[in-house]
Amino acid sequence: MLTNLQIFLIGIGFSISLSLIYFFLKTRINRKEIFENTSNLDLNAELKQGSLNLDSDESDSSNQELIIMQLHSIDGSNFDMEQVFELLKNLKFKAADGFFVFYNHSLEEVFRLANKFHPGSLDKKTQTNTLIAAIDLLKSNDPM
């Protein structure tokens, strides 16, 4: 049977071990480096304006509540579009007007995947390291 002093010493040893592991890993794994490595982005390039209109007919843009999620490659290199197209095809996305559209079981549009820098120009020749997924909350039946 362990005494209270032995249990206390084991607890202190365990706490010190966890603290040392935390500080060791904190210096090795730095999330800030991931976001600082954007040197290969050509931010001065001429950008073409596209549209992320999620409705096929004309709608008032003030009646949209968009959630846009950015998908950025960790190392900053361009996505291999052959792999992206194959993945999206396997996930039942449909290509439409330079976007990939995901439909639910009742064939209602859930969200679109597009090229961030040139929306509407997502094809197999596209060279980009950032994609965006957009969903319109007002048109979604179950956004959660």
Structure confidence at residue 49 (pLDDT): 54
Task: Using DSSP bridges, classify how beta strands 66-72 and 130-136 pair: parallel, antiparallel or unpaired.
Answer: antiparallel
Domain 64-136 -> CATH class: alpha beta
Report the distance separating Cα 100 and Cα 132, nearest Å: 10
- What are the b/e assignments for 10-29, b being 16+ CB within 10 Å? eeeeeeeeeeeeeeeeeeee
Structure confidence at residue 34 (pLDDT): 52
Structure confidence at residue 93 (pLDDT): 86
Closest by CA to 54, choosing from 45, 42, 44, 67, is 67
Return all residues near 76 (Cβ < 8 A) that are at least 6 apart: 37, 38, 39, 40, 41, 129
Contacts from 91-98 at CB under 8 Å and sequence distance 24+? 98/50, 98/122, 98/123
What average pLDDT does the chain have? 76
Q: Phi then psi for 32, rounded to 5 degrees?
A: -65, -35
pTM: 0.50
Report the distance separating Cα 76 and Cα 84, nearest Å: 16
- Encoding tokens for residue 54? 């999620």
Structure confidence at residue 88 (pLDDT): 85
- Encoding tokens for residue 132? 């965006």
- Residue ranges for the chain with pLDDT beneath 50: none
Structure confidence at residue 17 (pLDDT): 93
